[in-house]
Amino acid sequence: MPAANSIDSAGGSGTVAQAIIAAVTQVEINAGTPPVPTSLDVFLKRLDGLVVFLAAAHEEVFELIHDKELTWFPMSQNPVAPETAKAYRHSISNAAFLLGYAYLETFLADIARQVYLRRPKMLPEEKQLAYKDIVAAESSGEILLLIVEKEIRSVFGGPIEDVQKHFERKLNIRWPNEPEIFTASRMRNCLMHNGGVVDPRLAGAAPTYPLGTLIELEPDNVHGYGLVARRFANGLWENAVRTHLRGDDSLTR
């Protein structure tokens, strides 16, 4: 005697067959829908791209640029590449470092944005919008996003120490103990705002960079900061998920 849920001999589909078809269909749907990358995924992917960018610091690439410069960049009229392979290597390394730090800032802002959008009651009550911004908004969700962005700009326009305080005191997200993140912030400020010259804050944080000297990073230096950034980002993301973002499959898969 066949079981009640078996497929009949005429080829009709019973409940088991229906279940199999449904399961296969769901697998096909899942297979065709790639998971949405998290902020951590995006950040790490960007750092991976910098590894390729740093490969351009090799002397062979420098020599090729010198040979092909006026062909590749005809609008320049005159050679503009660094005169030596060493200067070129430092330029590439400094640029890669700045890009990596910008990616880190974006990653930090993305976490804060996700937390505030998920828990808007954590936003400061005194945060206000201009009347024109409120009128232009098409929904309450858009108004919330405007408030969140204003809060993020007020925090990330300051020093990294203020960002750390914001994460720990306002967002209640533990900040991983990675002192080199603060050193990287001071180095970024020197490269961006002090002509690449070491200022007292960087010299105090990193004795290997004497006061008044020119910052000339090597690819290995940038790779080292990249490893620190990866470790820091993984720890911070784990803390953010544990504190605020748990339960969202797109974030915690």
Residues 63-117 have pLDDT tens digits of 888 888 767 776 666 667 788 999 999 999 999 999 999 999 999 999 999 998 8
Rounded distance between C-alpha atoms, residue 117 and residue 151, angstroms: 12
Where residue 30 falls among pLDDT bands split at 50, 70, 90? Answer: low
Domain-by-domain residue ranges, the chain? Answer: 42-246+248-252
Confidence check: pLDDT of 201 > 50? yes
For residue 228, the model assigns a pLDDT of 97
Where do the H-state alpha helices sit in the chain?
15-32, 39-55, 59-72, 85-118, 131-136, 140-156, 160-165, 180-193, 200-205, 219-240, 249-252
Percent of the chain whose predicted confidence (pLDDT) is above 70: 74
> CA dist 78 to 56, 75, 83, 85, 198, Å?
22, 9, 13, 18, 31
Where residue 234 falls among pLDDT bands split at 50, 70, 90? Answer: very high
Rounded distance between C-alpha atoms, residue 253 and residue 237, angstroms: 13
User: Is the model's pTM score more than 0.75?
Assistant: yes
DSSP class of residue 132 equals H
Average pLDDT, the chain: 82
Poorest-confidence range of 119-123, 191-195, 242-246? 119-123
Confidence check: pLDDT of 146 > 70? yes
Where residue 124 falls among pLDDT bands split at 50, 70, 90? Answer: confident
Rounded distance between C-alpha atoms, residue 118 and residue 114, angstroms: 6
